[in-house]
Amino acid sequence: MTPHPFPLTLWSEAVYSRRSIPATLATGASAPGAAPGAAEADPVVLPAGLPGGRRFPLAAPPLRLRPVRRGRSAGPAGLADPAVLAALLHYSCGLIQHDLTPGGWPLHRAVASARCRYPSELSLVVPAPGGGHRAAAVYRFDPLHHQLALLQGAVGDEAATDPPGGAGSARFLVITSRFARTAQLYGDYAPRLCAQEAGMLLGAVHLVAAALGLRTRPGLDREILLALCDGWTPAGEHPMGYLELGDAPPTGSAPQAAVPGAPEARRPWIPPDAAAVLRARHSGAAIFDPEPVAAPRALLDDLGAALATAPSADFSCHLLVRQVAGTPAGHYVHTGDHWRPVRDGDPVPLLERIGQTEGRVSLNFRTVACVAYLAVRRGTALARSGADAFRQLHLSAGAAAHLVCVVAARHGLTARVHNGYDAATAERLLGLTVDEETVLFQVAIGAAKPAAGFRLPVVF
């Protein structure tokens, strides 16, 4: 029997401690057991396609994301419009920036990834006619070449010749993860990072689909996920999550509900000039050491609105505010779409006790604007879903974490997802429910100093 990709011990080995991180990480050498020089060593290797399989170049991604309208013109609408599919894939999973700094990580996707390993893959699944979730055709997005590669389905099949398919029919974007890419450096810690990153990608697809006016419904259901991935998932690639996509709902109809458990169906928060914001998002320099400048109050308003319409409501957000205009420093909790104060006062002592890596403070908390901690109800989820709770909760919190990064970018700020924190200390100091709530993400926000590197936008 295939072992579950998220054994229950992962909570203690990779969330509550960092025991599974190999000592070699500090030197950047391969983790013990990882095959040096294997194809997985290169994080931008071409995704596998069918041998000699067909590739579909995508249209150039538009410089602006605008909602598509059904039947707006004589041309193709919604997903059948090549520009819409290209925009959806590029702004959620595409290569956005090229970093020319010597010795740096050269290629950056739209979603953050620990040491730019990019284990997540995004595939467009066209279900077989007649209902159900089994794939008739599968197209793998190749961010490096901005193409789709046919993974399953014979050329000549109706479903396999036209990637987006006919307007109006449901399509799925499926997230899988190649743990080996990240395990090359991180060893047994990789499943944790891969689960976090899959969640962030889910949040990215959800946001970009909404910006394009597409109907989108992310799902957590494991049975549907396995059915969608059945028969084509390459060896060593793990099914992580999916979103159902459709064309824009008729004008005036209510927005779609998100995953079950979402409190209300509301139009997702979308930044003005979303494309420019998504192109500008970045995690900052190697060491997170921002300028000590106050963030605008609008940062908190946007964070509140964005988190209130996250794809899943299965998380809470605690914000430790150091320097935000018009806002007393202190501890706040996201409630509804606003911030409820918990405690006033300088949060730096708390931040420096929570945010530690092997006994050292992880980043310069003394100059951040604020730090978001995303917590989940682990106890309840474990009782409900057992080992799969790990995947589900990381998807929910990860989607929210990406929104935090995008909100920061919308205000010209940098957001850094940083796993250097002590989960037990975070629980205690943030006042989380004992044996129930767990922090899965620490995201620091600040004003990046001018970097020594050069990053250019990638243009297709």
Residues that bind ligand FMN (CB under 6 A): 105, 108, 112-116, 193, 196-197, 282-283, 416-420
Shortest Cβ distance from residue 3 to ligand FMN (Å)? 23
Separation between Cα atoms, residue 438 and residue 31, nearest integer Å: 27
- The token duo for 93 is 């999973």
CA 227 vs. chain centroid, Å, equals: 22
Nearer to ligand FMN, 186 or 232 (CB): 186
Nearer to ligand FMN, 34 or 110 (CB): 110
Shortest Cβ distance from residue 398 to ligand FMN (Å)? 8
Shortest Cβ distance from residue 275 to ligand FMN (Å)? 16
Shortest Cβ distance from residue 184 to ligand FMN (Å)? 15
Nearer to ligand FMN, 196 or 312 (CB): 196
Specify whether the CB–CB gap between 149 and 142 falls below 8 A: yes
Q: Which one-letter amino acid corresponds to residue 99?
A: D
Nearer to ligand FMN, 203 or 304 (CB): 203
Shortest Cβ distance from residue 193 to ligand FMN (Å)? 5
Which are the contacts of 20, defined by CB distance < 8 A and separation ≥ 6? 10, 13, 14, 187, 188, 189, 192
Rg for the chain (alpha carbons), in Å? 21
Residue whose C-alpha is closest to residue 336's, from 358, 370, 308: 308
Give per-residue burial for 3-30: e unless 16+ CB within 10 Å, then b.
Answer: eebbeeebbebbbeebebbbeeeeeeeb
Separation between Cα atoms, residue 116 and residue 458, nearest integer Å: 16
Q: Alpha helices of 346-460 — where are they, by DSSP H?
A: 348-354, 378-385, 389-410, 423-430
Nearer to ligand FMN, 56 or 421 (CB): 421
SS3 of 333-377: the string is EEECCEEEEEEECCCHHHHHHHCEECCEECCCHHHCCEEEEEEEE
Nearer to ligand FMN, 95 or 124 (CB): 95
Separation between Cα atoms, residue 109 and residue 259, nearest integer Å: 25
**32 class by beta-carbon count within 10 Å (0-12 exposed, 13-18 middle, 19+ buried):** exposed
Nearer to ligand FMN, 108 or 217 (CB): 108
Kind and range of the H or E run holding 297: helix 297-308
Shortest Cβ distance from residue 35 to ligand FMN (Å)? 23
Nearer to ligand FMN, 214 or 444 (CB): 444
Inter-CA distances, 121 with 136, 179, 214, 437, 440, Å: 19, 11, 21, 29, 22
Shortest Cβ distance from residue 217 to ligand FMN (Å)? 24
Nearer to ligand FMN, 119 or 246 (CB): 119
Shortest Cβ distance from residue 110 to ligand FMN (Å)? 8
Shortest Cβ distance from residue 192 to ligand FMN (Å)? 8
